[in-house]
Amino acid sequence: MRFIRPMLAATEEQLPREGKWSMEVKLDGIRAIAIKNGAQTRLFSRRPRDISADYPEIAHAIAGLPARQLMVDGEIAALDEKGRSSFQLLQNAKRDPAARDRVFYFMFDLMHVDGRDTTSLPLAQRRKMLRRLAPPGVSLKLSASLDGSFQRVWNLVRKLGLEGIIAKREDSKYEAGRRSGAWIKIKARHEQEFVIGGYTPPKGHREYFGSILAGYYAGKQLFYSGRVGTGFDAAALASLYGRFQKIRAAACPFSNLPTKGRIHSGQGVTAAEMKRYAWLRPRLVCQVKFLEWTRDGNLRQPVFLGLREDKRPPDVARET
């Protein structure tokens, strides 16, 4: 039984009228495929990268499920005191063992069990099989379906400050690696991944660097989307700076710099400013939350949340 790439969700603004859909809370964590094969249990990120050693409690809990062979799709997420998922809290849990009891694996799909490939079965049937197979444990939770109309669920998600909704057609097959539209994500917060292409020098009392220079891919070109200067603690500044020195580059990786024309957002970069910046090979992906996109295509009030080791830079595109 080998790793298969997870099925992906398309971004939409509201639920389609056609079809019967089930809804789940969109979690702000790391997508993970869990594979149990006899005595061996492993967790893989989307890339794929083996992350079993990063989350041994979850791997151990999967090993205890009543099946000889198993492949489950889910999300590793950390919950705050109000029960909301937080990517920043998940990053902090890696450095703080006391926070690890807030980290859970939310299981939402079953692709294989004891020699049977279940990907061609309807989602509703796969979910039913998963519920029978995997009762919640210390580190495991079943991602719950949300009852009620879309508008009622959406209003509640907005009120509670949750990230959004994942909606899935109940008759959909599991389409590995595809973004077919049978699964959609509807975001209540502006947050997505960006590629780090450089950094600015530090100012005042800050050490290491001032801001990171973030961007996204459109085709094979990397487009600059703004400076991200908040969300870093002292440990993050030092750790990131150390990683930056291993991927320094002589030339700017952004195809749309220096900025030309009138700049409304204050995020423009002139040729003179570029001489002070340090450039990086686009190897690192980070998670950023922000207020909105400006008319210039830049980020307004962006905040750094953490690195995304599970995402490939070429896969990072602007979400609309």
Catalytic residues: 26
Q: How far is the C-alpha of 309 from the C-alpha of 294, rounded, in Å?
A: 28
- Kindly write down the DSSP assignment for every residue of 149-171, as one continuous string: -HHHHHHHHHHHT--EEEEEETT
Phi-psi region at 260: left, alpha or beta (left = phi > 0; alpha = psi -120 to 50): beta
Report residue 174 as tokens.
């599991």
Q: How far is the C-alpha of 265 from the C-alpha of 284, rounded, in Å?
A: 25
Residue closest to 213 by CA, chosen among 263, 288, 311: 288
- My answer on whether omega of the bond before 48 falls inside 30° of 0, hence cis, is yes
Please check whether residue 78 is in contact with residue 38, taking contact to mean a CB–CB distance below 8 angstroms: no
Q: What is the DSSP letter of 44?
A: E
3-state secondary structure labels for all residues of 14-33: CCCCCCCEEEEECCCCEEEE
Start-to-end Cα distance in the chain: 36
- Strand ranges for the chain from DSSP E: 10-11, 21-25, 30-37, 40-44, 69-78, 103-113, 116-117, 140-142, 164-169, 183-187, 191-199, 212-218, 221-228, 248-249, 278-289, 292-293, 299-300, 303-307
